[in-house]
Amino acid sequence: MVNIIGTYEGKADAKGRLVLSAALKKQLSPMLQDGFVLKRSVFQPCLELYPMSEWNVLMGQVNKLNRFVKKNNDFIRRFTAGVKIVELDASGRLLIPKDLQVFAKITKNVVLSSAVNIIEIWDKENYEKAIEDASNEFADLAEDVMGNIISDENGVS
């Protein structure tokens, strides 16, 4: 499993090309050969960059859904809408396709934020707003999501 760490700021040029920071590129270097999948986020106005290995694991799960159940078929269609295979160019830039730029409202200032095994790509202003909005409820959310997890047999988490 891939574990990506950090939050990085960058700038997208007029064509939607984004230069990745050296620190992020170093983490992604083992995955560069296989490429990435870029897609719309389900819950936020941002993009998700999946290393191909992680995308294949996710698609293995999605592929188990029975397509003769309408809601499954509808989900698959919407989940994969706008999905693009992307690679870094020779200059280490990631080209964000125009339709995905529009979806995420990416203009110039961008935040790339690790989300365990993927990278979220945000317009900086929207990222800051999402973090600020969530900060008021984060303690409750942390307790709800992580409060019942016990890591080892001694009860230490």
Question: Does residue 1 lie in a domain region?
Answer: no
> Cα 32–113–64 angle (5° rounding)?
65
Where residue 144 falls among pLDDT bands split at 50, 70, 90? confident
Query: E strands of 12-156, at which residues?
Result: 17-19, 36-40, 47-51, 84-86, 93-95, 109-115, 118-123
Question: Does residue 66 lie in a domain region?
Answer: yes
Please check whether residue 86 is in contact with residue 94, taking contact to mean a CB–CB distance below 8 angstroms.
yes
61-108 pLDDT tens trace: 999 999 999 999 999 999 999 899 999 988 889 999 999 999 999 999
Q: Is 80 helix (H, G, I), strand (E, B) or coil?
A: coil
pLDDT at 155: 56
Question: Does residue 155 lie in a domain region?
Answer: no
Q: Checking DSSP bridges between strand 47-51 and strand 118-123, what pairing results, if any?
A: antiparallel
pLDDT at 74: 96
Number of domains in the chain: 1
pTM reported for the whole predicted model: 0.87
Output the domain CATH number for residue 90.
3.40.1550.20
